Structure 1
Amino acid sequence: LTQGLRLISNEYMPGEETSFEIIAFPSPEIEGNFEEIFKDTIKLNTLSNDVYRPVQQAIIDAMDGAEYAHILGRGTNETDLRVALHPVTDPEKQTIFENCLASVNVPLGEVFTSPVLKGTNGLLHVEESFLKGLRYDNIRLQFKDGYVSDWSCANFEDPQRGRDYIEENLFFPHKTLPLGEFAIGTNTVAYAMALKHGIMGLLPILILEKMGPHFAVGDTCFTWSEDAQKPSPFTGKTMIAVDNEKTVQRKQDPSLAYTNKHTDVTLPYSSLDSISVVHPGGREVFIIKGGRFVLPGTEMLNEAIDEAHSYL
């Protein structure tokens, strides 16, 4: 039914011809000092595209052409995940990451891609996660060739109840889901605000997803608009990482291509040790190391991380 409704919707409102803008603000009922939270939300919602565009482009330039990204957790966080990336055959005209500023989703602050499923393997572990209003304690998602192959959470004493909780609230009506998106959030200002006011669990995913790397299970970000990509007005490059092995089936049968699910799971900076990309020949480039942005051109992002961790 959902797939049929999407087909009808796309017929009359083609994804390649329509857009949207979405932004979030706190309501007075929020716990804590509403006025201060509101002021800080205004600040993170109005960060300058002109300031963050080159910072995020530096990340993209470092990752374009890599074979895979490697994400490692910090301390007790067990994340150890390799995300396979699309090959770039024409570096002058192609890119595999989108430079996401405050043009559709506000606030700004991420670069994202659609991973290649085959070769995407490993564990994603988040100690505390809020997904669509539900809390998950120590959620673990094991990936094998891009699909969740095993899963658990510590919400219940009985491990099976934890598995059922994930199946019912994250996967349903599917038995598993593919990794549809890999992104690196750069809005460290939002991260600092969340820890300053102790409202991490109250923030919408629109803000949460910008506060660390995130991994969306379900569809890619380009559902129904894969063929509408145009060269960037800033780089002249076209986004080519719009499909994966599942969504490419849309060309024969859309009902096989889409899950009609897209849930972002964010790994906060405090749980992150490193993000690196490995290029052909084994050259490794670190974006984040030791929990800090180390790639030249991204160092300004550490100022808010330092502030944020002063609240821990």
Structure 2
Amino acid sequence: MDRNWLILLVSAGAVFCMIWGLYCLGIYYTNTKKLWKTLKPIMVKRKGERSSLFLWFGNWYDRTESGQRLAALLKNAGIGIKPSEYFALLALLFGLCCYLAHNFLDLFFPLDIFCAYLLVKIGSARFLKMKQQKLVDALNRQLPDICRLLSSSVKAGLNIQQGIELAAREQKPPAQTVFTELAHQLQLGNTLENAFSHIMEGLPSKELRLMGSTIIVQRKAGGNMARVLEEMSQTLENRDRVNQELRGKTAETKFVAMVLPFMPIIAGLVLNISFPGFFLPLFTPLGLILAAVVIGIETVGFILIAKITDIRV
């Protein structure tokens, strides 16, 4: 009899503990749901964030000073990947270049590593600069339409900040991205001058700088802002037309300036394939002196051609 009572008490205690646990679980779920409903409206959702390809190393590299500098370069070039992802692509490309230089071009160590590093370094810098210039050119082509939109906004009774927010909604990238950031800076309480300065830190657009300076000066001096913006749109269109004509006339010279320094290198690689050990005399004292002289002459010629074709409007 005592044993049956003991089993009954243990069973009752187990049932009570189960009911109490379910009750506590329900209370926890209800409170968590209420807290989520309270916090959800004020939480900032980050759009466009992507996970790094390499979890630990990628997150660590993204937080380093080198990773932050690379992130700024990628942002200014309009490339939407993490710095660690871009670094991994460069590492893979470096390994591929080392393999090709050692096995197909018969370059010995450390010349194969040096050539691969030089190729990846220069190629990456040129690629980022080319992408940035392409983004700036696309932005400059959109600025006349933005000036007309701002002029129409001012005529409709809106202020400059509201016109910038309207341009951020109506325009397509890259102008949408730039003016969204500009509108965000104004919403944070920054002045128009500081907001334009923040945008221009990583975006070398002379047309955008001219547009911002004109709006700031006209706003301080007073006057017909709508008329000034209309004239600015015509000025920007004329500058774009002149820049296109200049690019067309100097394209051949720039192409020669880019190809000419690599012709001796390509010729030397071809000769090294045909005659293994062709580069060995370069590593003698006289060979190093001659190589330094040739590199110096080609560098001076490249700089001179770049200066001659760099016509500013």
- Range class of TM-score, shorter chain: under 0.3
- Structure with the bigger RCO (C-alpha within 8 Å, sep 6+) is 1
- Greater helix share, 1 or 2? 2
- Greater strand share, 1 or 2? 1
Larger Rg: 2
